[in-house]
Amino acid sequence: MTIADVRDILNAFVITGQELLDKEVHNACGSDMMSDVLAFVKDQSVLLTGLVNAQVVRTAEMMDMVCIVFVRGKEPGEDIKKLAQERGIVLMKTPLRMFPACGLLYNAGLRG
Amino acid sequence: MKLHFEVPGDDFTRAGEASGELKRKLKRLGFDPDVVRRAAIAMYEGEINMVIHAGGGVVDVEILPDKITIILTDYGPGIEDVDKAMQEGFSTAPDNIRMLGFGAGMGLPNIKKYTDTLNIKTEVGKGTVLTMTVLTNKQA
Taking CA–CA distances from A52, the nearest residue in chain B reads: B100
- Helix A54-62 vs helix B33-49: angle between axes, to the nearest 10 degrees? 150
The answer to whether position A112 is within a domain reads: no
DSSP 3-state assignment of B89? coil
A30: containing domain: 3-107
A43 in a structural domain: yes
Give the count of domains, chain A. 1
> Are residues B105 and B91 in contact, defined by beta-carbon separation less than 8 angstroms?
yes
CA–CA min distance B89, chain A (Å): 10
Three-state SS letters, chain A: CEHHHHHHHCCCEEEECHHHCCCECCEEEECCCHHHHHHCCCCCCEEEECCCCHHHHHHHHHCCCCEEEECCCCCCCHHHHHHHHHHCCEEEECCCCHHHHHHHHHHCCCEC
Q: How far apart are CA A24 and CA A45, in angstroms?
A: 9
Of the CATH numbers 3.40.630.10, 3.40.50.720, 3.40.50.1980, 3.30.565.10, which one belongs to the domain with range B2-135?
3.30.565.10
B101–chain A nearest CA distance, Å: 4
> Is A36 contained in some domain?
yes
Does residue A83 belong to any structural domain of this protein?
yes
Residue A50 belongs to domain with CATH number: 3.40.1390.20
B32-88 per-position pLDDT tens digit: 999 999 999 999 999 999 999 999 999 999 999 999 999 999 999 999 999 999 999
pLDDT tens by residue, chain A, 112 residues: 999 999 999 999 999 999 999 999 999 999 999 989 999 877 769 999 999 999 999 999 999 999 999 999 999 999 999 999 999 999 999 999 999 999 999 999 999 8
pLDDT at B137: 81
Q: Is residue A9 part of a domain?
A: yes
pLDDT by residue (tens digit) across B73-99? 999 999 999 999 999 999 999 888 888
Contact list, B100 vs chain A (CB under 8 Å): 51, 53, 55
Does B41 contact A61 at a Cβ distance shorter than 8 Å? no
